[in-house]
Structure 1
């Protein structure tokens, strides 16, 4: 498959998937999610690949869903967006045999936070930050955010982050348990590559079974929580408050 929103490179046992929409700060559209799923499935068929690095091109990891794709005149069926595109992506990341490292090189907001946290190891640049902007546009967190975030950072921090919508620095994310390591921007590539190389030397079944064991212990209820996010987002999508908020966002040209 030829990708419009991604680049995929393979170097021995390590593959890199890069969301390639830098002009949009790697905001995600439905097609992006579909391409990510396809890329993962294709890499799983390559017996030699053990590790995937997931990142974004340019200065952002990803700024969430591309709100400019929302047609405010006809409405936005967010139920279908999640059911058909983003929830399958989250499950694909968790169920893949591949060990997936999210390289958070810059701003990470909205559904992109859920995608980063759905990966197995999160390594961030000091320049990165995490942002839960959903309540500011009259929506609820999705993309597994309500599952992964409180599990890592605790209920109190998750609630405040999701309702106040304040940026969480990379250092705070490290303290909260959202990321494994934080490095200066000029060292990020080397540190991510070092981790990927160490894991790539391991026996493939050891990687696969360790991932399965840890995920089984940690993610009981993930599918049900994704369904609940889908249902509530479908309920709120298209509300007058959401339409007004997204209209302001798009006209203002602000990044999340």
Structure 2
């Protein structure tokens, strides 16, 4: 910032700054497996970096995301945090190809999964055995840690912005809806199709973001919105054409970044107080429990078994067949506009 006005100074500039003795902050370890981290001026840029897998969620994702958000939140240089994805889309949800196909063979470990804990895939494998007794709290203890990592975006002191292109579906929405602002390409696809079988959105944020009827319209059908519709429905703040997404996101981010850091924190905390008073934490807890239940019903077991036999993609094709007929890149099945 070159403006001479004292309220435009960076938080760490000047002898009267409480951060005046702060040394340079490292831009992040190269050991992140699911995302990259960089600081550019007043902006921390977090980018999901598993493009060949659609940036699907692994056990490492919530841990690394929370670590990167905390790193940015503690850095006095950073005023705003931007989250995006490389490749064809923002995030395709949980790595269900691995989860559904390999849940019973213990192949789901993350980089540093503690053996014998609820994060150990062997523990979850035993708990998912249809012939055994399912302990819902073992499931909840695991899934709540995923959601807690995503919720770092909401609970960070600094504002967070999601920039969405291509697709943001299933568990990807558990991440994006925790951001303070969503900018989405007009032709992108956003929604939670797994409510048709084997899933409930654990973030519990849909009704808080959309209101009761519109949230139910999506989640009682598993239907999705295009980016244009997401803005019309109030789920996103802007829906530029895909070629303009980066420019429009950057324009918003730089306007936010120009604000004094303490002002940003106060405004976000004040507005979050209203959101949290609506019961977001309670919604998240209930939704996470129901997400576990949905994977342990007769239908949930049948879906997992079908994925193990025929492959996850085939099981999804069957899930999204008639009367839905909306698999793949179709961007709307609410108004039937913008379909490809």
TM-score, length basis structure 1: 0.91
Secondary structure of 1:139 counterpart: coil
Question: How much has 1:11 moved relative to structure 2?
Answer: 0.5
- Aligned partners of 1:82 and 1:138: how far apart in 2? 14
Equivalence map 1:184-195=2 (5 Å)? 184-195=241-252
Confirm or deny that 1:41 pairs with 2:101: no
Structure with the largest fraction of helix: 1
Partner Cα distance (1:106, 1:194) in 2: 20
SS at match of 2:92: coil
Shift of 1:99: 1.1
User: Cα 1:138–1:48, aligned 2, differ >3 Å: closer, same or farther?
Assistant: same
> How far off its partner does 1:112 sit?
1.3
- Displacement of 1:45 in angstroms is 1.9
Greater RCO, 1 or 2 (C-alpha within 8 Å, sep 6+): 1
| 1:115 equivalent in structure 2 | 175
Q: 1:232 aligns with which of 273, 290, 293?
A: 290
Q: Specify whether residues 164 and 236 from structure 1 end up closer, same or farther in structure 2 by C-alpha distance, changes over 3 A only.
A: closer
Greater than 3 Å deviation, 4+ residue runs: 75-78, 246-250
**Equivalent position to 2:272, from 215, 224, 229:** 215
Distance 1:249 1:108, change over 3 A: farther
Cα deviation for residue 245 of structure 1 reads 1.7
- Structure 1 segments unaligned to the other structure (5+ residues): none
Residues 18, 248 of structure 1: alpha-carbon distance in 2 compared, 3 angstrom cutoff = farther
Q: Deviation string for 1:59-95 (max 9, x for gaps)?
A: 1111111112324322556423322222x12431111
Alignment match, 2:47 = 18
1:57–1:78 distance in 2 versus 1, CA, 3 Å:
farther
Q: Contact between 1:136 and 1:245, CA under 8 Å: does it hold in 2?
A: no
Q: Which moved more, 1:195-204 or 1:75-84?
A: 75-84
Spell out, residue by residue over 1:1-29, the C-alpha distance to the aligned partner (whole angstroms, 9 max, x if none).
42011011210110110111111111111
**Structure with bigger gyration radius:** 2
Q: Residues 22 and 243 from structure 1, CA distance in 2 versus in 1: closer, same or farther, beyond 3 angstroms?
A: farther
Q: Which moved more, 1:246-255 or 1:4-13?
A: 246-255
Gaps of 5+ in 2: 1-28, 105-124, 129-137, 317-326, 329-340
2:224 to 155, 162, 167: 167
Residue by residue over 1:124-165, the C-alpha shift from the partner in whole angstroms, topping out at 9 and shown as x without a partner, is 111211121222223322123xxx222232212211211211
Conserved in 2, the CA contact under 8 Å of 1:6 and 1:19?
Answer: yes
**Structure 1 residues 246 and 171: CA distance shift in structure 2, 3 A:** farther
- 1:50/1:99 contact within 8 Å kept: yes
Residue matched to 1:57: 86
Whichever structure has more strand as a proportion of its residues is 1
* C-alpha deviation, 1:247, in angstroms: 4.5
1:85 to 134, 146, 164: 146
Please report the RMSD computed on the Cα atoms of aligned residues, expressed in angstroms.
1.9
Matches of 1:39 and 1:108 in 2, distance apart?
20
Question: Which position in structure 1 is the counterpart of 2:187?
Answer: 127
1:8 counterpart = 2:66: no
1:31 maps to which residue? 60
1:241 aligns to what SS in structure 2?
Answer: helix
Are 1:105 and 1:124, in contact at CA under 8 Å, matched by a contact in 2?
Answer: yes
Deviates more, 1:216-225 or 1:241-250: 241-250
